[in-house]
Amino acid sequence: MLRVLFDKNVPYPLRSHLKFCSVRTAEEEGWGRLTNGLLILRAEQAGYQLLVTCDQNVSYQQDLTKRKISIIVLGSNIWPSVQLKMAEILAATKRVSSGSFDFIGIAPPPKRRFVSDPRI
């Protein structure tokens, strides 16, 4: 079973869609305040195979070439938008290999615009 760690910014409802994985959160592990580098190191030491995060900077900050853990970065943490990419997220979890990196582009939902009624 794939061991997955959710960073603090990942929408928790995603967990229920990863039924084939053992999922824990950084908060549950007591690692909620760790920087990305230290979080990755601790996760790897604890035997996690995959880190899921919405922190898009992690791809620029971390070199995964010598790592055992893989990372999937979600382009948004807004749950309705994430849900629309579920098939792509699930496919990415099945491609996990040591040191791999996957970015799932997720467009934010359209902004609501308030249109005032000139009759009021």
pLDDT score at 56: 86
What are the domain boundaries of the chain?
2-104
C-alpha span between 77 and 53 (Å, rounded): 9
- The pLDDT-based confidence of 109 (bands split at 50, 70, 90) is confident
Q: What pLDDT, in 10s, does the model give residues 67-102?
A: 889 999 999 999 999 999 999 999 999 999 888 899
Q: Are 48 and 35 in contact (CB under 8 A)?
A: no
C-alpha span between 112 and 52 (Å, rounded): 28
Q: What pLDDT, in 10s, does the model give residues 1-37?
A: 999 999 999 999 999 999 999 999 999 999 999 988 8
